[in-house]
A and B are shown apart, each in its own frame.
Chain A
Amino acid sequence: AQSVTQPDIHITVSEGASLELRCNYSYGATPYLFWYVQSPGQGLQLLLKYFSGDTLVQGIKGFEAEFKRSQSSFNLRKPSVHWSDAAEYFCAVKGFQKLVFGTGTRLLVSP
């Protein structure tokens, strides 16, 4: 069965600093991978997705993620964090007619 692990429950980053959120997945074949962001009281917004091809994918809001098959990872990165990036971030893998999510990483941005 598919599964996703996000090892960091909370991460605090200074505004303007770089960010990397970790995601490891378990899936037998080539996975479809996603990063979503959830602001307080909001639903999930898709940041980016990986299906195949170039292992470095660009998303919205300046985010990117790199698929590394050898490490079963799909880490999310941003070169310079803004205060508005404070939110909960979820990594997900496509299962059979559903998405399987990790437990999320809460990003706090300090001034």
Chain B
Amino acid sequence: DAGVTQSPTHLIKTRGQQVTLRCSPKSGHDTVSWYQQALGQGPQFIFQYYEEEERQRGNFPDRFSGHQFPNYSSELNVNALLLGDSALYLCASSLGLAGAPSSYNEQFFGPGTRLTVL
């Protein structure tokens, strides 16, 4: 049973460019969340996709956008890259939404994509 997979593993871009990162969820999962982990920091929530729609968004500018496909895989797109976008981007998958305070659907994390912006 494959876990969460992400591609590419590493990526180097220059300022102003655009980048697309990809995530395949764990088998049976239908929800994908993206997190940004800057060096020396904890992961920060970017957004979550369920049923091909963005359901929740963290404090990230519109340069960060995403997409979820019918097979539940997801892409994270970042436009007009800044040096500060250099980070490890983590994808997490889960089954269903767990917005209610009394519910939780465990998130399984992929290995991440290391993005370096020069």
Contact = CB atoms under 8 A, between A and B. Distances in A.
B40 interface: yes
B61 interface: no
B25 interface: no
Nearest to A4: B42
A43 B41 contact: no
Given A42-B111, A97-B97, A90 B104 contact: no
Nearest to B42: A101
B7 interface: no
Report the interface size class on chain B: 20 to 34
A29 to B, nearest CB: 6
B48 interface: yes
A75 interface: no
B111 A43 contact: yes
Interface in A89-105: 90, 92, 94-104
Nearest to A51: B104
B101 A43 contact: no
**Is the contact region of chain B dominated by helix, strand, or loop, or is it mixed?**
loop
Contacts of A94: 98, 104
Contacts of A103: 40-42
A37 B30 CA distance: 24
B56 A96 contact: yes
Given A29-B101, A90-B42, A104-B42, A98 B106 contact: no
Given A46-B106, A101-B42, 6 more contacts: A36-B109, A44-B90, A92-B42, A94-B104, A104-B40, A104-B42
Q: A-B pairs with the 8 shortest C-beta distances?
A: A101-B42, A98-B45, A43-B109, A44-B109, A97-B56, A43-B111, A97-B99, A103-B42
Interface of B: 4, 33, 35, 40-45, 48, 55-56, 58, 90, 92, 97-99, 101, 104, 106-107, 109-112
Interface of A: 4, 6, 29, 32, 36, 41-46, 49, 51, 90, 92, 94-104
